[in-house]
Chains A and B, each alone.
Chain A
Amino acid sequence: MSTLTKVLIVLLTIASIFLCGIVVTYVANADNYKQKYDTLYNGYQAAKKNEDNAKTQLNNTIEEKDRDTGKLGEQIASLEEDINKLKSDLATAERDRDDANRKVNNWAAIVMDFSKTIENNEKLVKDALTERDLKEAELIKQGKELKDTTAALMENMAIVKQLQEGSKRLLEEKTELQNKLDQYLRQYGKAIAEPIPVTPGQEAVRLTPPTKDIDLNGSITEVDLKNLLAEISIGAADGVKEGMRFHLTRGDKFICDIVVLDVWPEKAVGWLELIQDQPQDQPQINDRVSTNL
């Protein structure tokens, strides 16, 4: 055997061992793809079944959901009707509540007013009772004073009676004097003013009573120059009295005087005095007469 053959044998053997070792190592460590495929295929089938089941369940659920949706739509519609009804009821109830609140407030205000009125009345009653007690005490006191005053009054009454008799006498004298004075003043168209009572003790000098103008105005209604008589348009109703003197004028001109002789309620007749000689200055109808110029 040649050397080359021997070398080739050795190299072949080494290469075989090396390559077989590599192949065995690779095969021993290689993945089991069939097993992996089976596992994955089984998983795939199971997933597909699950998908079908899920699709079926989904369809069922969708159908059920649609049915429920329809039912819920009907329920929502009926509930909306109920809600509208309840809203209208609520509005009515709120209106009733507001009315009731207003009534309650009104009644509360009325009750408050009544309470205040009652309190005021109670205060007034208390005050009235207190005042009544005070008045009773005062009345008792005044009753005692009245008894004393009555006794004093009885004494004074006797004195007053005496004074009244004296006063009566003085009054009669005064009336006589006043009548005389009145007759005297009436001739000149004057009258006595109301005397002012004066306390004799407080005045050092007693003044004479003042006079005032009677101030009667009228006109001539008839003239009788032969008898020197004339009739005037005012009488006793206007305050004309017998003896009163009137001045007869025409415009700014003095004509004559008239002294009243007789008086009727609405007219009077008097005596013409101080008649002038000129014919145009003779008294005429409608000439003015007055007590004062």
Chain B
Amino acid sequence: MSPVVQSRGKKIAAADNLYTVILAVAFLVVLTAAVFVAYQCYTQYDTIFKIQ
């Protein structure tokens, strides 16, 4: 995964692992938001999905 040093006259491109990290960060953000929403629902209504 180390960056490849391109020869002179070629475009510098990021490694593929970077996009994996970005995807991982996105997943973590979505997971964190889902957990927070679930926690709020449980604390406020004593359930996550059921409507009383």
Contacts A9-B19, A12-B23, A13-B23 given; indicate if A23 touches B44 (C-beta within 8 A). Answer: no
- Answer yes or no: A175 CB below 8 A from chain B CBs: no
Q: Which of B22, B29, B40, B46 contacts A28 (CB 8 A)?
A: B40
Query: How many Å lie between the Cα of A12 and that of B30 in the bound state?
Result: 11
Question: Given the known A-B contacts A27-B40, A34-B45, A35-B44, are A13 and B33 also in contact in the complex, defined by CB atoms under 8 Å?
Answer: no
Cβ–Cβ < 8 Å partners of B26 in chain A: 12-13, 16-17
CB <8 Å contact, B45 and A20: no
B22: nearest residue on chain A (CB-CB)? A13
- Chain B contacts for A147, CB-based, 8 A: none
Q: Mark A62-90, 1 if CB is under 8 A from B, else 0.
A: 00000000000000000000000000000
**How many of A's residues come within 8 Å of B, CB to CB?**
19
Task: Report A-chain residues with C-beta under 8 Å of the C-beta of B19.
Answer: 1, 5-6, 9-10
Contacts A6-B14, A10-B19, A13-B25 supplied; 11 other A-B pairs, CB < 8 Å = A9-B19, A12-B26, A13-B26, A13-B29, A16-B27, A16-B29, A20-B33, A24-B37, A32-B44, A33-B44, A34-B45
- Chain A residues within CB distance 8 Å of chain B: 1, 5-6, 9-10, 12-13, 16-17, 20, 23-24, 27-28, 30, 32-35
A16 and B44 contacting across the interface, CB-CB below 8 Å:
no
> 23 A-B pairs, CB-CB below 8 angstroms?
A1-B16, A10-B19, A10-B22, A12-B23, A12-B26, A16-B26, A17-B26, A17-B29, A20-B29, A20-B30, A23-B33, A23-B37, A24-B33, A24-B36, A27-B36, A27-B37, A27-B40, A28-B36, A28-B40, A30-B40, A33-B44, A34-B45, A34-B46
Interface residues of B in 10-40 (CB under 8 A from A): 14, 16, 19, 22-23, 25-27, 29-30, 32-33, 36-37, 40
A16 to B29, CA, bound (A): 7
CB distance from B20 to the nearest CB of A (A): 9
Given contacts A23-B37, A32-B44, A34-B45, contact A9 B23 (CB under 8 A): yes
Shortest distance between the CB of B34 and any CB in chain A (Å): 8
Report Cα–Cα, A28/B36, bound state, in Å: 9
Cα–Cα distance between A9 and B26 once the two chains are bound (Å): 9
For the complex, give the distance between the alpha carbons of A204 and B46 in Å: 176
Which B residues are CB-close (under 8 A) to A30?
40
Considering the chains assembled together, what is the distance between the CA atoms of A34 and B40 in angstroms? 12
Q: Which 7 A-B pairs have the closest CB atoms?
A: A20-B33, A13-B26, A16-B26, A9-B19, A13-B22, A20-B29, A27-B40
Docked pose: A30 CA to B44 CA in angstroms: 11
B30 to A, closest residue via Cβ: A16
Partner of A20, one of B23, B32, B44, B46: B32
Closest to A26 in B: B37
How many Å from the CB of B47 to the closest CB on chain A? 10
A37 to chain B, nearest CB (A): 10
Report chain B residues within 8 Å CB of A28. 36, 40
Q: Kindly list chain B residues whose C-beta atoms are within 8 Å of the C-beta of A27.
A: 36-37, 40
